[in-house]
Copies of this chain bind each other. A is one copy, B any other.
Amino acid sequence: MTQATRLRQATSALKASCHQCSLSNLCLPLAIQDNDLDSLEDIVQQGRIYNRGEHIFDQSSPFRSCFAVKSGSIKTSIITEGGEEQVTGFFMPGELVGLDSMSGETYACTAKTLERTSVCEFPIDKLEELTGKLPDLQHHMYRLMGQEIQNSHQLAMLLSKNTAEERIASLLLSLSSRFQRRRMSPTNFSLPMARNDIANFLGLAVETVSRVFTRFQNQGIIRARGREVELLDVEALQLVTREFSRQGCSQ
């Protein structure tokens, strides 16, 4: 092993090994032929490990990279001039954070870890260069960004048309399916975020979130103690999310 190699491995900006990553079927490698994976590995940087509550990047600071969650979880939020916070998303392993910032020279939001979290960093200039060479990767980026727009539209719809119960049921189901895709239990999981974040994300007061949780619990739909949640009746939850529209087209 040369000194240079040893040095490179010692720096914090280690190359990540997408080849061996367990998330390669969720993350960017998903879009890439095996023989092109090297070129992705060439640009990716292994980020350091963050403790709970640390900032990955801050709103208004220079936009340099997108980040893929490797383990742990992240919340993104916008801070208004008045100091109000609006949580815009929660991100789980394999998901890409920072796409909304592609519109400018600075980050459009702040990304904060919800627990001990590790990430992979994709410097945006190199990523753009690479997507120019790999049509499949470019296509995947478009897909991801399109999906992000849709998610955001879904959130807007939830906020403008649905009751507190419907919003919370939707969030629980969304988390459930995302845990499932990551080969974790879809009915028995630990919420990565605090009630406060849930409330903020869903446009509710903390008290309301709390009340809905206990109401669901009393109805036997879920069992919750702190952040530990068990979905006892998924169908009932799905029913809740559609309650509004069911009334709209009854008879």
A residues adjacent to B (C-beta < 8 A): 78, 80-84, 86, 88, 99-104, 108-109, 128-129, 131-133, 135, 138-139, 141-150, 152-157, 159-161, 202-203, 242, 244-246, 248-249
- Say yes or no: B84 contacts A244, CB within 8 Å: yes
Query: Separation in Å of the A131 CB from the closest CB of chain B?
Result: 7
Query: Separation in Å of the A239 CB from the closest CB of chain B?
Result: 12
Q: Quickly give the copy total for this chain.
A: 2
Q: A86-B157, A101-B146, A103-B144 are in contact. List 9 more A-B contacts (CB 8 A).
A: A81-B245, A82-B245, A100-B150, A109-B153, A128-B142, A131-B138, A132-B132, A152-B153, A155-B156
A146 to B88, CA, bound (A): 14
Chain B contacts for A109, CB-based, 8 A = 153
Chain A contact residues: helix, strand, loop or mixed = helix
Chain B contacts for A161, CB-based, 8 A = 84, 86, 203
Query: Separation in Å of the A138 CB from the closest CB of chain B?
Result: 6
A88 to B161, CA, bound (A): 13
- Say yes or no: A146 contacts B145, CB within 8 Å: yes
Chain B contacts for A156, CB-based, 8 A = 86, 88, 152, 155-156, 159, 203
A101 to B132, CA, bound (A): 21
A154 to B150, CA, bound (A): 14
- Say yes or no: B100 contacts A160, CB within 8 Å: no
Given A153-B109, A203-B161, does the pair A146, B100 have CB atoms closer than 8 Å? yes
Contact of A80 among B146, B150, B157 (CB under 8 A): B157
A149 to B76, CA, bound (A): 13
List 8 A–B pairs whose Cβ atoms lie within 8 Å, in order of A's numbering. A82-B244, A82-B246, A102-B142, A102-B146, A103-B144, A128-B135, A145-B146, A160-B203
Chain B contacts for A99, CB-based, 8 A = 145-146, 149
A84 to B148, CA, bound (A): 21
Which residue of the partner chain B has the closest CB to A129?
B135
